[in-house]
Amino acid sequence: MNKFHVLLTLSLLACAATAATEPVMPAAHVVPVEKPALAQTLDAYVAGRTQRASSKYTYQWPGLYFDAAFLGPKVYFEVGPGDVILRVLVDGQPVATLAKPAPGFYEIANFANSRHTVRIEALTESQAGPNVFGGFYYSKGTQPLPVKPRARQIEFIGDSHTVGYGNTSPTRECTEKEVWATTDNSQAFGPKVAGHYDAEFQINAISGRGIVRNYGGSPGDPLPEAYPFALLDHSARYADTKWQPQIIVIALGTNDFTTALNPGEKWKTRDELHADFESNYVKFVESLRARNGEAFIIIWTTDMAEGEIESEARRVVSRLESAGEKRIAFVPLHGLAMTGCHWHPSVVDDDAIAAALIRSIDGNKTSWGTP
Amino acid sequence: MNKFHVLLTLSLLACAATAATEPVMPAAHVVPVEKPALAQTLDAYVAGRTQRASSKYTYQWPGLYFDAAFLGPKVYFEVGPGDVILRVLVDGQPVATLAKPAPGFYEIANFANSRHTVRIEALTESQAGPNVFGGFYYSKGTQPLPVKPRARQIEFIGDSHTVGYGNTSPTRECTEKEVWATTDNSQAFGPKVAGHYDAEFQINAISGRGIVRNYGGSPGDPLPEAYPFALLDHSARYADTKWQPQIIVIALGTNDFTTALNPGEKWKTRDELHADFESNYVKFVESLRARNGEAFIIIWTTDMAEGEIESEARRVVSRLESAGEKRIAFVPLHGLAMTGCHWHPSVVDDDAIAAALIRSIDGNKTSWGTP
């Protein structure tokens, strides 16, 4: 297996172009390097779920991003094991995308000797195993600066739609490798909504999972069973008192309902599946509410599964409202083009979903502002 | 990509074992060799669909097998491009299984200098592209013998169930690679039924395809549209006047019905899909009947899709019978364990399906014998 595909297209093309001319500042570059001498850890801010050991972060949920700030002309980061596509941003601008970077140290350099922010974001989904980010480092000539986390926090809980499964694919037909390569969570609706409000975000989503049943009756934790843990292996419960989202957006049910029951599954009839789905979705939202007393909760759906997801989620919201839940909205969406891999939302659909969620957030009473 | 996985386990282990003892005849071996000097083509019999150019056969439908006969201690065959798993049988006994053999010549040798049959059978499904079998060859010391095709012919038409998709997998959860590696058409019900009656067989099946709709609404020809052609690319219509099956076994509908309609598919409601399925299935069977006036036709179903496949196929059979079709049987199966990849029939289920089909064949008036 080729573990060493490093795409530095942007930066290398930029360097080649400027080499022919004169003292124009060359574009930032990202290159693998030996461990820098006397490197010191540059503290990172991480909104997403990780397991931290010294400066290393193990992560598996999608949408992870690592932020740091410094004063100087360059900075380093370390990539640990695990297949991943990473985007490197300096001062909010992408400078490189690394597909399956080899474990080791990377230098980001060639920018003005002044204050900068750097972000490493993971684009891909890693159900097969966790990834490791080895942290940021700086050496002589660079001065660390603190990162100030944004006050706003938003959490997205869901399935492949929230992951951004195959959202950049030009075709609906995709191999597993193509799904992996065309999944870009940074272009999914969650990070788009978070960016609109300049909010920190978590993407707690797993492709193929539902509330009680996974796609085609496949094995694995349904989302509410995976949700309490930092990684998908249940090795450690996730707990971070600083994560107090003001908005929680949930979309589940696609995988419970888009495939027929197989003989031998635990539900004999569609009615049994519906009853189980409703009571477990209600319980899951109640457990989120118990930990996030003030959060505004949005449940949204597509019109897939011949309307079954929408009608079932609508019942869940009604049951919650009947039980006294007031800070909740239901947003059913119709007419998405679903031209990503295997009829999944495309990046254009992601824009439409983001717009609908922004309308709901702006139109409801949330701690981010009243209508 | 590793294109050179040649598994010669059976034969090599056998050779190693006999090397330590004495003049026991070593087991047949299969090894890659240079093109044998003065090699001449040994005619092959092929029941399945191929495109032939000189001694080379291009094939893409599953279940292809190539038979030859000779008098001598060894024989050769040539493998062309395309990923495939091939099983080599001498005198009806498997002597090697080659996973992704490199293109080139192979020698089968080390058996008694007498009359032998040799069969090369393709186990895998090759939707991505065709495979090439370069034919059999013999050289000095070996004498070609004619192959006498069996009088009985049976044809199996279907989807992944007929392909044997993931039927040898120990788990329901499989990657694409695992599906490929665990699909063994030779252990699927079709070849089992054919073997029971000592009949030649064709397996005209494609995983994921239906009568009018493919799995999850995915692109590609539904089976009746792919059926007329020798390969999946429509480059040449299949025509072989010697293929006149006395029995035709069909199982379709799994992919039409096990997933919900996506908004934007050509059927707005389940009723529209049912009507389209029924009329196209009837038309397809009528077209088979037009070319095979005397064949006995069996339509069988599983109880997947919450009974929808069975009830729809039952209607198709009723409509055909109402229109005067007399040589047809309907065999609905319940209770398969479906422990292959992604809830597909396992080799144990294949035994159960084969047994049910054998009961139907034995219990009905066919040209193979009357009850």
Q: Does any CB of chain B come closer than 8 Å to the CB of residue A335? A: yes
User: CB of B329 within 8 Å of any CB in chain A?
Assistant: no
Q: Report d(CA B87, CA A351) in Å as an integer.
A: 51
- N-terminal to C-terminal alpha carbon distance within chain B: 54
Contacts for A179 with CB less than 8 Å, ≥ 6 apart: A165, A166, A169, A341, A342
Judging contacts by C-beta atoms under 8 Å, the chain B residues touching residue A305 are 260
Chain A residues with CB-CB distance to B303 below 8 A: 263
Task: Tell me if B172 and A303 make a contact (CB, 8 A cut-off).
Answer: no
Structure tokens of A17?
């172009």
Closest CA to A138 of A38, A39, A56: A39
Q: Which of A306, A310, A311, A333 to mutate to test the interface with B (most CBs of B within 10 A)?
A: A306
B-chain residues near A270 (CB < 8 A): 306
Q: How far apart are CA A304 and CA A230, in angstroms?
A: 30
Minimum distance, in Å, between the CA of residue B218 and any CA atom of chain A: 7
Question: pLDDT-based confidence at B4, cuts 50/70/90?
Answer: very low
When pLDDT is cut at 50, 70 and 90, the band that residue B54 belongs to is: confident
End-to-end CA distance of chain A: 53
Query: How would residue B21 be classed by pLDDT, with cut points 50, 70 and 90?
Result: very low
Contacts of A366 (CB under 8 A, 6+ apart): A246, A247, A296
* ipTM score for this prediction: 0.83
> Which residues are registered as beta bridge partners of B114?
B72
User: What residues in B contact A306, CB-CB < 8 Å?
Assistant: 260-261, 269-270
Q: Which amino acid is at B279?
A: S
Model confidence pLDDT, tens digit, residues A174-218:
999 999 999 999 999 999 999 999 999 999 999 999 999 999 999
Partner-chain contact A335 B303, CB within 8 Å: no
CA A6 to chain CA mean position, Å:
22
Q: What is the pLDDT of residue A37?
A: 86
Q: Please provide the average confidence, as pLDDT, over all residues in chain A.
A: 92
Segment B52-57 long-range contacts (CB within 8 Å, at least 24 positions apart): B55/B134, B55/B135, B56/B80, B56/B132, B56/B133, B56/B134, B56/B135, B57/B132, B57/B133, B57/B134, B57/B135
Indicate yes or no: CB of A216 within 8 angstroms of CB of B342: yes
User: Which residues in chain A touch residue B334, judged by CB atoms under 8 angstroms apart?
Assistant: 263
pLDDT in tens, B207-253: 999 999 999 999 999 999 999 999 999 999 999 999 999 999 999 99
d(CA A123, nearest CA chain B) in Å? 21
Query: Contact A263/B335, CB-based, under 8 Å?
Result: yes
What is the rounded average pLDDT for all residues in chain B?
92
Q: How are beta strands A296-301 and A247-251 bridged, if at all?
A: parallel
Beta-carbon separation of A173 and B220 below 8 A: yes
Which of B218, B263, B305 is facing A173, going by the closest CB pair? B218
CA distance B357 to chain A (A): 21
Query: Within 10 Å of residue B227's Cβ, how many Cβ atoms?
Result: 18
What SS3 class is residue A12? Answer: helix
Chain B residues whose CB is inside 8 A of the A304 CB are: 260, 262-263
Contact with chain B for residue A71, Cβ under 8 A = no
| Positions of B marked active-site | 160
Q: B178 to chain A nearest CA, in Å? A: 12
Q: Pick from A259, A269, A344, A346 the residue to mutate for testing the B interface (most B CBs within 10 Å).
A: A259
For residue A58, pLDDT over 80 is answered with yes
pLDDT tens for B124-164 read 999 999 999 999 999 988 999 999 999 999 999 999 999 99
- Interface membership of A2 toward B (CB under 8 Å): no
